[in-house]
Structure 1
Amino acid sequence: MTFSTLSLTDETRGAATYAVARLNRPDVRNAIDQAMVNDLHAVCTDLEERPRTLVLTGCQIDGTNGPRGIFASGADITQLRERRRDDALRGINSQVFDRIAKLPMPVIAAIDGAALGGGAELALAADFRLGTPGTRFGQPETGLGIVAAAGGLWRLKEVTGEQLAKEILLAGRILTGEECRDSGILLSLHSPEDLVDAAAALAERIAAQDPLAVRISKRVFSMPRDAHPHVDELAQAVLFESQEKFDRMQAFIDRKKK
Protein backbone atom coordinates (compact mmCIF):
# COMPACT_ATOMS: atom_id res chain seq x y z
CA MET A 1 0.00 0.00 0.00
CA THR A 2 1.15 3.55 -0.76
CA PHE A 3 0.74 6.34 1.79
CA SER A 4 1.71 10.01 1.69
CA THR A 5 1.62 10.86 5.42
CA LEU A 6 2.63 7.67 7.19
CA SER A 7 4.23 4.28 6.73
CA LEU A 8 2.72 0.87 7.52
CA THR A 9 4.90 -2.19 8.04
CA ASP A 10 4.47 -5.66 9.47
CA GLU A 11 7.05 -6.53 12.10
CA THR A 12 7.75 -9.59 14.23
CA ARG A 13 8.86 -10.14 17.79
CA GLY A 14 9.18 -13.75 18.86
CA ALA A 15 6.13 -15.53 17.46
CA ALA A 16 4.15 -12.29 17.24
CA THR A 17 3.40 -10.42 14.04
CA TYR A 18 2.03 -6.91 14.45
CA ALA A 19 1.61 -3.79 12.35
CA VAL A 20 3.45 -0.52 12.92
CA ALA A 21 2.03 2.73 11.55
CA ARG A 22 4.40 5.70 11.78
CA LEU A 23 2.97 9.17 11.25
CA ASN A 24 5.43 11.05 9.07
CA ARG A 25 4.75 14.74 8.41
CA PRO A 26 7.74 16.10 10.35
CA ASP A 27 7.70 19.48 8.60
CA VAL A 28 4.30 20.26 10.20
CA ARG A 29 4.79 18.27 13.44
CA ASN A 30 2.52 15.47 12.18
CA ALA A 31 -0.50 17.77 11.91
CA ILE A 32 -3.53 15.70 10.94
CA ASP A 33 -4.80 16.85 7.55
CA GLN A 34 -7.24 15.29 5.08
CA ALA A 35 -4.46 13.23 3.48
CA MET A 36 -3.54 11.72 6.87
CA VAL A 37 -7.20 11.00 7.58
CA ASN A 38 -7.39 9.18 4.24
CA ASP A 39 -4.23 7.22 5.05
CA LEU A 40 -5.55 6.25 8.48
CA HIS A 41 -8.76 4.98 6.85
CA ALA A 42 -6.61 2.88 4.51
CA VAL A 43 -4.69 1.48 7.49
CA CYS A 44 -8.02 0.55 9.10
CA THR A 45 -9.17 -1.21 5.93
CA ASP A 46 -5.99 -3.30 5.94
CA LEU A 47 -6.34 -4.22 9.62
CA GLU A 48 -10.03 -5.03 9.28
CA GLU A 49 -9.28 -7.39 6.42
CA ARG A 50 -6.26 -8.97 8.13
CA PRO A 51 -6.63 -8.40 11.89
CA ARG A 52 -3.46 -7.90 13.92
CA THR A 53 -2.34 -5.65 16.74
CA LEU A 54 -1.39 -2.13 15.65
CA VAL A 55 1.40 -0.02 17.12
CA LEU A 56 0.74 3.62 16.22
CA THR A 57 3.62 6.04 16.70
CA GLY A 58 5.13 9.26 15.42
CA CYS A 59 8.47 10.36 14.04
CA GLN A 60 11.38 12.61 14.95
CA ILE A 61 11.75 16.27 14.13
CA ASP A 62 14.79 18.53 14.27
CA GLY A 63 14.98 20.62 17.44
CA THR A 64 17.41 23.19 18.78
CA ASN A 65 19.05 20.48 20.89
CA GLY A 66 18.92 17.78 18.22
CA PRO A 67 16.21 15.36 17.08
CA ARG A 68 13.16 14.92 19.29
CA GLY A 69 9.97 12.93 19.10
CA ILE A 70 6.60 14.11 17.88
CA PHE A 71 3.37 12.10 17.93
CA ALA A 72 0.80 14.51 16.46
CA SER A 73 0.54 18.22 17.20
CA GLY A 74 -3.18 18.37 16.35
CA ALA A 75 -5.39 18.93 13.36
CA ASP A 76 -3.91 20.93 10.50
CA ILE A 77 -5.02 24.46 11.42
CA THR A 78 -4.73 25.75 7.85
CA GLN A 79 -7.39 23.23 6.80
CA LEU A 80 -9.36 23.44 10.03
CA ARG A 81 -9.78 27.22 9.73
CA GLU A 82 -11.59 26.80 6.41
CA ARG A 83 -14.01 24.10 7.57
CA ARG A 84 -17.65 25.05 8.04
CA ARG A 85 -20.82 23.58 9.56
CA ASP A 86 -21.24 20.78 7.03
CA ASP A 87 -17.62 19.71 7.51
CA ALA A 88 -18.19 19.44 11.25
CA LEU A 89 -21.32 17.36 10.68
CA ARG A 90 -19.31 14.99 8.47
CA GLY A 91 -17.10 14.18 11.47
CA ILE A 92 -13.93 14.09 9.38
CA ASN A 93 -11.59 13.28 12.28
CA SER A 94 -14.08 11.73 14.69
CA GLN A 95 -15.14 9.10 12.16
CA VAL A 96 -11.63 7.83 11.52
CA PHE A 97 -10.70 7.89 15.23
CA ASP A 98 -13.85 5.92 16.04
CA ARG A 99 -12.91 3.43 13.32
CA ILE A 100 -9.47 3.03 14.89
CA ALA A 101 -11.04 2.46 18.31
CA LYS A 102 -13.25 -0.27 16.83
CA LEU A 103 -10.48 -2.20 15.07
CA PRO A 104 -10.84 -5.91 15.81
CA MET A 105 -7.45 -6.26 17.54
CA PRO A 106 -5.88 -3.92 20.11
CA VAL A 107 -4.22 -0.63 19.18
CA ILE A 108 -1.14 0.56 21.08
CA ALA A 109 -0.16 4.23 20.83
CA ALA A 110 3.55 4.84 21.45
CA ILE A 111 3.74 8.56 22.22
CA ASP A 112 6.90 10.64 22.36
CA GLY A 113 6.58 14.41 22.31
CA ALA A 114 3.37 16.30 21.62
CA ALA A 115 -0.05 14.66 21.46
CA LEU A 116 -2.24 17.74 21.31
CA GLY A 117 -5.75 18.45 20.07
CA GLY A 118 -6.53 15.92 17.37
CA GLY A 119 -3.28 14.14 18.26
CA ALA A 120 -4.54 13.64 21.81
CA GLU A 121 -7.87 12.39 20.48
CA LEU A 122 -6.06 9.98 18.17
CA ALA A 123 -4.12 8.66 21.16
CA LEU A 124 -7.33 8.31 23.19
CA ALA A 125 -8.76 6.07 20.45
CA ALA A 126 -6.06 3.49 21.22
CA ASP A 127 -6.56 0.67 23.72
CA PHE A 128 -3.15 1.24 25.30
CA ARG A 129 -0.94 4.32 25.46
CA LEU A 130 2.75 4.19 26.28
CA GLY A 131 4.83 7.34 26.54
CA THR A 132 8.08 9.02 27.52
CA PRO A 133 8.96 11.75 30.01
CA GLY A 134 8.85 14.09 27.01
CA THR A 135 5.21 13.31 26.23
CA ARG A 136 2.96 16.36 26.27
CA PHE A 137 -0.79 15.81 26.21
CA GLY A 138 -3.54 18.40 25.94
CA GLN A 139 -6.74 19.60 24.27
CA PRO A 140 -6.24 23.29 23.37
CA GLU A 141 -9.36 23.52 21.19
CA THR A 142 -11.27 26.07 23.30
CA GLY A 143 -8.35 28.47 22.88
CA LEU A 144 -8.99 28.26 19.13
CA GLY A 145 -12.72 28.85 19.43
CA ILE A 146 -13.82 25.23 18.93
CA VAL A 147 -14.39 22.07 21.00
CA ALA A 148 -12.59 18.73 21.16
CA ALA A 149 -15.21 17.11 18.96
CA ALA A 150 -13.24 14.05 17.81
CA GLY A 151 -13.45 12.13 21.08
CA GLY A 152 -11.85 14.40 23.66
CA LEU A 153 -15.15 15.58 25.14
CA TRP A 154 -16.16 12.07 26.16
CA ARG A 155 -13.17 9.71 25.97
CA LEU A 156 -10.93 11.85 28.16
CA LYS A 157 -13.15 11.81 31.25
CA GLU A 158 -13.46 8.03 30.99
CA VAL A 159 -9.69 7.86 31.47
CA THR A 160 -8.94 10.70 33.91
CA GLY A 161 -12.22 11.38 35.68
CA GLU A 162 -14.30 14.52 35.22
CA GLN A 163 -12.34 17.14 37.18
CA LEU A 164 -8.96 16.70 35.46
CA ALA A 165 -10.67 16.26 32.09
CA LYS A 166 -12.44 19.59 32.56
CA GLU A 167 -9.17 21.32 33.46
CA ILE A 168 -7.60 19.99 30.27
CA LEU A 169 -10.64 20.79 28.11
CA LEU A 170 -11.76 24.09 29.65
CA ALA A 171 -8.56 25.62 31.01
CA GLY A 172 -6.04 24.38 28.46
CA ARG A 173 -3.84 22.40 30.85
CA ILE A 174 -1.02 20.49 29.17
CA LEU A 175 0.13 17.35 31.01
CA THR A 176 3.71 16.09 31.20
CA GLY A 177 4.61 12.46 30.66
CA GLU A 178 4.69 11.78 34.39
CA GLU A 179 1.30 13.47 34.88
CA CYS A 180 -0.13 11.41 32.02
CA ARG A 181 1.08 8.21 33.66
CA ASP A 182 -0.22 9.21 37.09
CA SER A 183 -3.65 10.18 35.68
CA GLY A 184 -4.07 6.95 33.70
CA ILE A 185 -3.66 8.46 30.23
CA LEU A 186 -0.41 6.52 29.85
CA LEU A 187 0.01 2.92 30.92
CA SER A 188 3.77 3.33 31.41
CA LEU A 189 6.78 5.56 30.72
CA HIS A 190 9.90 4.58 28.79
CA SER A 191 12.94 6.27 27.36
CA PRO A 192 12.47 7.47 23.76
CA GLU A 193 14.93 4.79 22.64
CA ASP A 194 12.91 2.02 24.32
CA LEU A 195 9.40 3.24 23.57
CA VAL A 196 8.57 1.31 20.41
CA ASP A 197 10.28 -1.79 21.78
CA ALA A 198 8.06 -1.58 24.87
CA ALA A 199 5.02 -1.35 22.59
CA ALA A 200 6.30 -4.37 20.65
CA ALA A 201 6.69 -6.31 23.91
CA LEU A 202 3.05 -5.56 24.75
CA ALA A 203 2.03 -6.66 21.24
CA GLU A 204 3.91 -9.91 21.83
CA ARG A 205 2.03 -10.51 25.09
CA ILE A 206 -1.27 -9.91 23.29
CA ALA A 207 -0.23 -12.32 20.53
CA ALA A 208 0.30 -15.06 23.14
CA GLN A 209 -3.42 -15.01 23.91
CA ASP A 210 -6.13 -16.67 21.83
CA PRO A 211 -6.81 -14.14 19.02
CA LEU A 212 -10.54 -14.88 18.96
CA ALA A 213 -10.83 -14.44 22.73
CA VAL A 214 -8.96 -11.12 22.46
CA ARG A 215 -11.22 -9.88 19.64
CA ILE A 216 -14.40 -10.84 21.47
CA SER A 217 -13.15 -9.42 24.79
CA LYS A 218 -12.35 -6.08 23.14
CA ARG A 219 -15.77 -5.86 21.52
CA VAL A 220 -17.71 -6.86 24.65
CA PHE A 221 -15.61 -4.56 26.88
CA SER A 222 -16.82 -1.50 24.96
CA MET A 223 -20.52 -2.32 25.23
CA PRO A 224 -22.81 -0.30 27.54
CA ARG A 225 -23.40 -1.40 31.13
CA ASP A 226 -26.97 -2.51 30.54
CA ALA A 227 -25.78 -5.03 27.91
CA HIS A 228 -24.02 -7.03 30.63
CA PRO A 229 -24.07 -9.82 31.72
CA HIS A 230 -26.15 -11.04 28.78
CA VAL A 231 -23.60 -10.18 26.10
CA ASP A 232 -20.82 -11.75 28.22
CA GLU A 233 -22.76 -15.02 28.35
CA LEU A 234 -23.29 -14.99 24.59
CA ALA A 235 -19.60 -14.29 24.01
CA GLN A 236 -18.65 -17.13 26.33
CA ALA A 237 -21.06 -19.45 24.51
CA VAL A 238 -19.20 -18.76 21.26
CA LEU A 239 -15.80 -19.36 22.83
CA PHE A 240 -16.92 -22.51 24.65
CA GLU A 241 -17.36 -24.12 21.22
CA SER A 242 -13.94 -23.01 19.96
CA GLN A 243 -11.32 -25.69 19.34
CA GLU A 244 -8.71 -23.25 20.59
CA LYS A 245 -10.42 -23.27 23.99
CA PHE A 246 -10.21 -27.06 24.22
CA ASP A 247 -6.57 -27.11 23.05
CA ARG A 248 -5.42 -24.37 25.42
CA MET A 249 -7.23 -25.84 28.42
CA GLN A 250 -5.90 -29.33 27.67
CA ALA A 251 -2.38 -27.90 27.42
CA PHE A 252 -2.90 -26.22 30.80
CA ILE A 253 -4.08 -29.51 32.35
CA ASP A 254 -1.12 -31.38 30.85
CA ARG A 255 1.36 -28.86 32.26
CA LYS A 256 -0.19 -29.18 35.70
CA LYS A 257 0.30 -32.95 35.58
CA LYS A 258 4.05 -32.65 35.09
Structure 2
Amino acid sequence: MTAGSHRASYDTLLVEERTDRVVVTLHRPEARNAISGRMITELHEVCAQLERTPKLLLLTGHGGVFAGGADISELVKRGRDEALQGINSRLFERVRRLPMPTLAAVDGWALGGGAELAYACDLRLAGADAVFGNPEPGLGILAAAGACWRLPELVGESVAKQVLLAGRNLDARAAHAAGLVIDVVPAEELVREAHALLDRMARSSATALRLTKLVVDSPGAHPVADDLAQAVLFESEDKKDRMTRFLDRRSRI
Protein backbone atom coordinates (compact mmCIF):
# COMPACT_ATOMS: atom_id res chain seq x y z
CA MET A 1 0.00 0.00 0.00
CA THR A 2 1.43 3.38 -0.99
CA ALA A 3 1.71 6.52 1.08
CA GLY A 4 -1.51 8.48 1.18
CA SER A 5 -3.68 5.46 0.47
CA HIS A 6 -6.03 3.45 2.63
CA ARG A 7 -8.07 0.27 2.32
CA ALA A 8 -11.83 0.04 2.62
CA SER A 9 -13.42 -3.11 4.04
CA TYR A 10 -15.50 -5.39 1.79
CA ASP A 11 -16.39 -9.09 1.81
CA THR A 12 -15.60 -9.94 -1.82
CA LEU A 13 -13.25 -7.14 -2.84
CA LEU A 14 -9.93 -5.69 -1.78
CA VAL A 15 -10.23 -1.93 -2.28
CA GLU A 16 -7.33 0.49 -1.99
CA GLU A 17 -8.07 4.18 -2.30
CA ARG A 18 -5.22 6.39 -3.51
CA THR A 19 -5.08 10.08 -4.21
CA ASP A 20 -5.71 9.74 -7.95
CA ARG A 21 -7.08 6.20 -8.33
CA VAL A 22 -8.97 3.36 -6.73
CA VAL A 23 -7.56 -0.16 -6.99
CA VAL A 24 -10.16 -2.94 -6.81
CA THR A 25 -9.14 -6.60 -6.59
CA LEU A 26 -11.85 -9.23 -7.03
CA HIS A 27 -11.32 -11.49 -4.03
CA ARG A 28 -13.24 -14.74 -3.79
CA PRO A 29 -10.33 -17.18 -3.83
CA GLU A 30 -12.57 -20.11 -2.92
CA ALA A 31 -14.51 -19.60 -6.18
CA ARG A 32 -11.92 -18.31 -8.68
CA ASN A 33 -13.28 -14.80 -8.00
CA ALA A 34 -16.66 -15.75 -9.47
CA ILE A 35 -19.02 -12.79 -9.58
CA SER A 36 -21.66 -13.29 -6.90
CA GLY A 37 -24.64 -11.18 -5.91
CA ARG A 38 -22.64 -9.86 -2.97
CA MET A 39 -19.77 -8.86 -5.27
CA ILE A 40 -22.23 -7.07 -7.55
CA THR A 41 -23.56 -5.10 -4.58
CA GLU A 42 -20.07 -4.17 -3.44
CA LEU A 43 -18.99 -3.13 -6.94
CA HIS A 44 -22.07 -0.87 -7.08
CA GLU A 45 -20.80 0.73 -3.85
CA VAL A 46 -17.41 1.35 -5.47
CA CYS A 47 -19.12 2.86 -8.53
CA ALA A 48 -21.17 5.18 -6.33
CA GLN A 49 -17.97 6.37 -4.68
CA LEU A 50 -16.28 6.97 -8.05
CA GLU A 51 -19.32 8.86 -9.31
CA ARG A 52 -19.19 11.13 -6.26
CA THR A 53 -15.41 11.55 -6.39
CA PRO A 54 -14.16 10.74 -9.89
CA LYS A 55 -10.83 8.89 -9.99
CA LEU A 56 -9.09 6.41 -12.25
CA LEU A 57 -10.07 2.78 -11.60
CA LEU A 58 -7.77 -0.24 -11.73
CA LEU A 59 -9.68 -3.52 -11.64
CA THR A 60 -7.87 -6.84 -11.23
CA GLY A 61 -8.29 -10.29 -9.72
CA HIS A 62 -6.70 -12.10 -6.81
CA GLY A 63 -4.50 -15.17 -7.10
CA GLY A 64 -3.67 -15.21 -10.81
CA VAL A 65 -7.31 -15.28 -11.90
CA PHE A 66 -9.40 -12.30 -13.00
CA ALA A 67 -12.85 -13.88 -12.64
CA GLY A 68 -13.91 -17.39 -13.57
CA GLY A 69 -17.40 -16.21 -14.49
CA ALA A 70 -20.63 -15.52 -12.70
CA ASP A 71 -21.43 -17.69 -9.69
CA ILE A 72 -23.19 -20.70 -11.25
CA SER A 73 -24.65 -21.77 -7.91
CA GLU A 74 -26.58 -18.47 -7.94
CA LEU A 75 -27.32 -18.43 -11.68
CA VAL A 76 -29.01 -21.82 -11.60
CA LYS A 77 -31.63 -20.40 -9.21
CA ARG A 78 -32.38 -17.31 -11.30
CA GLY A 79 -35.45 -17.19 -13.48
CA ARG A 80 -37.17 -14.85 -15.91
CA ASP A 81 -37.75 -12.08 -13.37
CA GLU A 82 -34.08 -12.02 -12.34
CA ALA A 83 -33.00 -11.96 -15.99
CA LEU A 84 -35.22 -8.94 -16.60
CA GLN A 85 -33.58 -7.15 -13.67
CA GLY A 86 -30.27 -7.22 -15.56
CA ILE A 87 -28.35 -7.91 -12.35
CA ASN A 88 -24.94 -8.11 -14.01
CA SER A 89 -25.59 -5.98 -17.07
CA ARG A 90 -26.74 -2.95 -15.05
CA LEU A 91 -23.53 -3.03 -13.04
CA PHE A 92 -21.28 -3.47 -16.05
CA GLU A 93 -22.97 -0.58 -17.84
CA ARG A 94 -22.45 1.52 -14.72
CA VAL A 95 -18.75 0.63 -14.81
CA ARG A 96 -18.70 1.59 -18.48
CA ARG A 97 -20.15 5.02 -17.68
CA LEU A 98 -17.83 5.93 -14.81
CA PRO A 99 -16.56 9.47 -15.33
CA MET A 100 -12.83 8.69 -15.36
CA PRO A 101 -10.95 6.03 -17.38
CA THR A 102 -11.04 2.44 -16.17
CA LEU A 103 -8.41 -0.27 -16.68
CA ALA A 104 -8.80 -4.03 -16.23
CA ALA A 105 -5.52 -5.81 -15.50
CA VAL A 106 -6.31 -9.38 -16.51
CA ASP A 107 -4.29 -12.49 -15.78
CA GLY A 108 -5.57 -16.04 -15.83
CA TRP A 109 -9.20 -16.76 -16.59
CA ALA A 110 -11.66 -14.03 -17.53
CA LEU A 111 -14.69 -16.08 -18.46
CA GLY A 112 -18.39 -15.37 -18.83
CA GLY A 113 -19.35 -12.51 -16.55
CA GLY A 114 -15.68 -12.00 -15.73
CA ALA A 115 -14.91 -11.39 -19.39
CA GLU A 116 -17.92 -9.09 -19.69
CA LEU A 117 -16.71 -7.04 -16.72
CA ALA A 118 -13.33 -6.64 -18.42
CA TYR A 119 -15.05 -5.68 -21.70
CA ALA A 120 -16.91 -2.92 -19.82
CA CYS A 121 -13.66 -1.21 -18.85
CA ASP A 122 -12.14 1.41 -21.14
CA LEU A 123 -8.81 -0.42 -21.42
CA ARG A 124 -7.50 -3.90 -20.75
CA LEU A 125 -3.93 -4.98 -20.04
CA ALA A 126 -3.19 -8.71 -20.17
CA GLY A 127 -0.80 -10.90 -18.27
CA ALA A 128 0.84 -13.62 -20.33
CA ASP A 129 -1.57 -16.26 -19.00
CA ALA A 130 -4.77 -14.27 -19.60
CA VAL A 131 -7.66 -16.09 -21.32
CA PHE A 132 -10.93 -14.45 -22.35
CA GLY A 133 -13.99 -16.51 -23.18
CA ASN A 134 -17.78 -16.63 -23.13
CA PRO A 135 -18.93 -20.23 -22.68
CA GLU A 136 -22.50 -19.29 -21.69
CA PRO A 137 -24.29 -21.23 -24.51
CA GLY A 138 -22.78 -24.42 -23.11
CA LEU A 139 -24.75 -23.71 -19.93
CA GLY A 140 -27.97 -23.05 -21.82
CA ILE A 141 -27.83 -19.25 -21.62
CA LEU A 142 -26.27 -16.38 -23.55
CA ALA A 143 -23.68 -13.79 -22.65
CA ALA A 144 -26.34 -11.25 -21.71
CA ALA A 145 -24.31 -8.74 -19.73
CA GLY A 146 -22.95 -6.85 -22.71
CA ALA A 147 -20.75 -9.31 -24.61
CA CYS A 148 -23.21 -9.82 -27.49
CA TRP A 149 -23.02 -6.16 -28.46
CA ARG A 150 -19.93 -4.84 -26.69
CA LEU A 151 -17.48 -7.51 -27.92
CA PRO A 152 -18.25 -6.91 -31.63
CA GLU A 153 -17.54 -3.22 -31.03
CA LEU A 154 -14.19 -4.10 -29.47
CA VAL A 155 -12.87 -6.83 -31.79
CA GLY A 156 -15.18 -6.90 -34.80
CA GLU A 157 -18.08 -9.18 -35.69
CA SER A 158 -16.02 -12.10 -36.98
CA VAL A 159 -13.84 -12.56 -33.89
CA ALA A 160 -16.80 -11.87 -31.59
CA LYS A 161 -18.82 -14.65 -33.25
CA GLN A 162 -15.87 -17.02 -32.91
CA VAL A 163 -15.96 -16.37 -29.16
CA LEU A 164 -19.72 -16.17 -28.63
CA LEU A 165 -20.90 -18.88 -31.05
CA ALA A 166 -17.95 -21.21 -31.62
CA GLY A 167 -16.72 -21.15 -28.04
CA ARG A 168 -13.26 -19.89 -28.95
CA ASN A 169 -11.16 -18.65 -26.06
CA LEU A 170 -8.81 -15.73 -26.74
CA ASP A 171 -5.44 -16.17 -25.06
CA ALA A 172 -3.32 -13.12 -24.37
CA ARG A 173 -1.63 -13.12 -27.79
CA ALA A 174 -4.91 -13.53 -29.66
CA ALA A 175 -6.57 -10.84 -27.52
CA HIS A 176 -3.73 -8.46 -28.33
CA ALA A 177 -3.88 -9.26 -32.04
CA ALA A 178 -7.63 -8.59 -32.00
CA GLY A 179 -7.14 -5.23 -30.26
CA LEU A 180 -8.94 -6.33 -27.11
CA VAL A 181 -5.94 -5.59 -24.87
CA ILE A 182 -3.46 -2.74 -25.06
CA ASP A 183 -0.43 -4.97 -24.33
CA VAL A 184 0.70 -8.31 -22.93
CA VAL A 185 3.19 -8.33 -20.07
CA PRO A 186 4.65 -11.01 -17.78
CA ALA A 187 2.20 -11.94 -15.04
CA GLU A 188 4.54 -10.84 -12.28
CA GLU A 189 4.76 -7.36 -13.85
CA LEU A 190 1.05 -6.96 -14.59
CA VAL A 191 0.05 -4.75 -11.66
CA ARG A 192 3.20 -2.64 -11.90
CA GLU A 193 2.66 -2.07 -15.63
CA ALA A 194 -1.00 -1.29 -15.00
CA HIS A 195 -0.03 1.40 -12.52
CA ALA A 196 2.54 2.77 -14.97
CA LEU A 197 -0.23 3.12 -17.55
CA LEU A 198 -2.47 4.87 -15.02
CA ASP A 199 0.46 7.10 -14.01
CA ARG A 200 0.74 8.21 -17.62
CA MET A 201 -2.97 9.02 -17.77
CA ALA A 202 -2.85 10.75 -14.40
CA ARG A 203 -0.35 13.24 -15.78
CA SER A 204 -3.02 14.46 -18.20
CA SER A 205 -5.71 16.92 -17.27
CA ALA A 206 -8.41 15.09 -15.31
CA THR A 207 -11.11 17.29 -16.84
CA ALA A 208 -9.76 16.67 -20.34
CA LEU A 209 -9.83 12.91 -19.72
CA ARG A 210 -13.40 13.08 -18.43
CA LEU A 211 -14.67 15.12 -21.36
CA THR A 212 -12.77 13.03 -23.92
CA LYS A 213 -14.32 9.85 -22.51
CA LEU A 214 -17.75 11.48 -22.51
CA VAL A 215 -17.46 12.47 -26.17
CA VAL A 216 -16.01 9.12 -27.29
CA ASP A 217 -18.79 7.22 -25.52
CA SER A 218 -21.61 9.47 -26.70
CA PRO A 219 -23.98 7.73 -29.13
CA GLY A 220 -24.15 9.35 -32.54
CA ALA A 221 -21.11 11.55 -31.92
CA HIS A 222 -21.46 14.99 -33.42
CA PRO A 223 -18.98 17.85 -34.00
CA VAL A 224 -21.08 20.02 -31.66
CA ALA A 225 -20.20 17.68 -28.79
CA ASP A 226 -16.51 18.17 -29.58
CA ASP A 227 -16.98 21.95 -29.71
CA LEU A 228 -18.83 22.14 -26.41
CA ALA A 229 -16.32 19.96 -24.57
CA GLN A 230 -13.42 21.92 -26.04
CA ALA A 231 -15.07 25.20 -25.06
CA VAL A 232 -15.10 24.10 -21.42
CA LEU A 233 -11.44 23.08 -21.57
CA PHE A 234 -10.32 26.23 -23.38
CA GLU A 235 -11.53 28.32 -20.44
CA SER A 236 -9.69 26.29 -17.80
CA GLU A 237 -6.63 27.54 -15.97
CA ASP A 238 -5.19 24.03 -16.21
CA LYS A 239 -5.13 24.25 -20.00
CA LYS A 240 -3.41 27.65 -19.92
CA ASP A 241 -0.81 26.45 -17.40
CA ARG A 242 -0.04 23.27 -19.36
CA MET A 243 0.32 25.08 -22.68
CA THR A 244 2.43 27.82 -21.14
CA ARG A 245 4.81 25.22 -19.67
CA PHE A 246 4.98 23.49 -23.06
CA LEU A 247 5.86 26.74 -24.86
CA ASP A 248 8.44 27.61 -22.19
CA ARG A 249 10.15 24.23 -22.62
CA ARG A 250 10.18 24.57 -26.40
CA SER A 251 11.64 28.05 -26.24
CA ARG A 252 14.60 26.70 -24.28
CA ILE A 253 15.47 24.05 -26.87
Q: Which residue of 1 aligns with 2:240?
A: 246
**SS of aligned partner of 2:187:** coil
Does structure 1 residue 179 correspond to structure 2 residue 174? Answer: yes
Displaced runs of 4+ in structure 1, greater than 4 A?
none
Q: Which residue of 2 aligns with 1:64?
A: none
Deviation, structure 1 residue 247: 1.2
Deviation, structure 1 residue 188: 0.5
TM-score (norm 2): 0.94
User: What fraction of aligned residue pairs are identical, expressed as a percent?
Assistant: 50
Match of 1:8 among 15, 22, 29: 15
Distance in 2 (alpha carbons) for counterparts of 1:85 and 1:2: 33
Q: Which one-letter code corresponds to 1:35 in the other structure?
A: R
Does structure 1 residue 147 correspond to structure 2 residue 142? Answer: yes
Distance in 2 (alpha carbons) for counterparts of 1:4 and 1:219: 32
TM-score (norm 1): 0.92
- The number of residue pairs the alignment matches comes to 245
Distance in 1 (alpha carbons) for counterparts of 2:190 and 2:80: 39
Deviation, structure 1 residue 2: 2.6
Distance in 2 (alpha carbons) for counterparts of 1:133 and 1:143: 26
Q: Which one-letter code corresponds to 1:250 in the other structure?
A: T
Give deviations 1:168-195, integer Å, cap 9, x for gaps.
Answer: 1011111111111111111101111100
Does structure 1 residue 51 correspond to structure 2 residue 54? Answer: yes
Give deviations 1:47-85, integer Å, cap 9, x for gaps.
Answer: 11221111100011xxxxxxxx10001110111111111
Match of 2:115 among 88, 102, 120: 120
Q: Which residue of 2 aligns with 1:65?
A: none
Q: Which one-letter code corresponds to 2:34 in the other structure?
A: A
Distance in 1 (alpha carbons) for counterparts of 2:219 and 2:129: 35
Deviation, structure 1 residue 163: 0.8
Deviation, structure 1 residue 11: 4.1
Distance in 2 (alpha carbons) for counterparts of 1:72 and 1:219: 28
Give deviations 1:95-140, integer Å, cap 9, x for gaps.
Answer: 1111111111111100010000000000001111011221111011
Distance in 2 (alpha carbons) for counterparts of 1:193 and 1:144: 33
Q: Which residue of 2 aligns with 1:96?
A: 91
**SS of aligned partner of 2:225:** helix
Distance in 1 (alpha carbons) for counterparts of 2:184 and 2:21: 21
Give deviations 1:23-69, integer Å, cap 9, x for gaps.
Answer: 10011001101000001001111111221111100011xxxxxxxx1
Deviation, structure 1 residue 151: 0.7
Distance in 2 (alpha carbons) for counterparts of 1:167 and 1:256: 50
> Following superposition of structure 1 onto structure 2, how do residues 202-213 of structure 1 map, counting pairs within 5 Å?
202-213=197-208
- RMSD between aligned residues: 1.1
Does structure 1 residue 110 correspond to structure 2 residue 113? Answer: no
